[in-house]
Amino acid sequence: MELEKRWLREEKTATLRQQIRRGIAEDLVTLAYSFNKPWPEFGRWLRRVQQLGFSNLALRVHITCLYVQSLRLFPRQAHEAWDLLEDAERRVCRLRRENPLRREHLESLAHAKKVARVPRPPPR
């Protein structure tokens, strides 16, 4: 957080400061996943990313996959995680079929579904 504060002081525009905040929050979600952090920490950074907005579609897919795959640590969040995965899938499907990222993202989402230890809960 000290590094973020220093970088924010150095940036002149609000847009660049927003990009720094977003990038750091996205990195912290990935680190929270990597270290099997509990919901209070993982959720804190996930909420921050959601609040700031995802940097791009690839990071939305990446963080969504991490969220679904980490549900074994916090299964109460299953509805939200699977809803986020559905949203990411819809966004990816809007890409043109010939776009190589479309296939790559769909494969990532399919893999997350396959390895998820907490299944999709029934609709509310």
pLDDT of residue 17: 81
**Per-residue pLDDT in tens (0 to 9) along the chain, 124 residues:** 677 777 677 777 888 888 888 999 999 999 999 999 999 999 999 999 999 999 999 999 999 999 999 999 999 999 999 999 999 999 999 999 999 999 999 999 999 999 999 999 988 7
Overall pTM > 0.85: yes
- ∠ CA 108-113-119, nearest 5°, is 160
Q: Specify the pLDDT at position 42.
A: 97
Nearest-angstrom CA–CA distance, 95 and 21: 27
